Amino acid sequence: MSRIENAFKNKKAFIPFITCGDPDIATTQEVVKEAIKNGADLIELGIPFSDPTAEGPVIQEASLRALNGGMTTDKAFSLAESIRKTTDVPLVFMTYANVVFSYGGDKFMSRCKEVGVDGIILPDLPFEEKEEFLSVCKKYDIALISLIAPTSQDRIEMIAKEAEGFIYLVSSLGVTGERSKITTDIDQIVKAIKNVTNVPCAVGFGISNPEQAGRMAAMADGVIVGSAIVKKIAQYGKDSAKEVGNFVSQLSTAVHNANR
């Protein structure tokens, strides 16, 4: 059983998103450590990019802080390698196709394998154009995580059938960021996905508090929270690890206690 499969085994999975190098590498490592200690089942690590088209202002600003602090793709690999030494919790990179392309696809995925990264999310990679990346992901046994959006509709079955690792179900239209209300019919989309695959489905985008997290977890296999966590890191800076840990504890408890 892969580490990603294990994260969803017999429970709902809570997945925090954390930008590598925001505000610095040492803080990221401490934040990840606290997140795992407080119930995170899988860690999504963002490799910062200068033009993060799927991100709202909170994560855009985190990427800018990290890049201004000297964060690089190589340093993200070193960070992941260091985290892997102390945990078996799955690690997934979230970045953009250009980051992988400019680094070199084969080199990028081989490094993922070496340092213990289990999967990659490329939000700007259209499903129809994924083959170029998929072949090298398969070569190194790295899960290429598929995204399904509320607008996917007729494409849900096509995307879900080929999904691996887990499916990232985008809860709302637009970019990442906290939302007071999620109006998408998540339950209907999850049911459509479940009709064609047993690959777990985790909901992300806009989830910002334990109540929302619990509600989404009741419909899906997992919940992803990004901007609300990144906002705490922006607020507390180098002292953010404990604050994030407390927040993750509340979110993960809500997710783990949710019943379908």
Categorize the per-residue pLDDT at 180 as very low, low, confident or very high, splitting at 50, 70 and 90.
very low
120 pLDDT exceeds 90? yes
Q: Give the structural domain span for 56.
A: 3-256
Q: What is the average pLDDT score of the chain?
A: 92
Q: Rounded CA gap, 239 and 244, in Å?
A: 10
What pTM does this model have?
Answer: 0.94
Instruction: Write down the pLDDT at residue 152.
Output: 74
Q: What pLDDT score does 52 carry? A: 65
Report the C-alpha gap between 175 and 57 in whole angstroms: 9
When pLDDT is averaged across residues 198-208 and rounded to a whole number, the result is 93
- Residue 172 scores a pLDDT above 70: no
Beta carbons of 260 and 222 less than 8 angstroms apart? no
Q: Provide the CATH number for the domain around residue 181.
A: 3.20.20.70
Q: How many domains is the chain partitioned into structurally?
A: 1
Task: Tell me what pLDDT residue 54 has.
Answer: 58
Which pLDDT score, from 0 to 100, does residue 175 have? Answer: 44
pLDDT at 57: 85
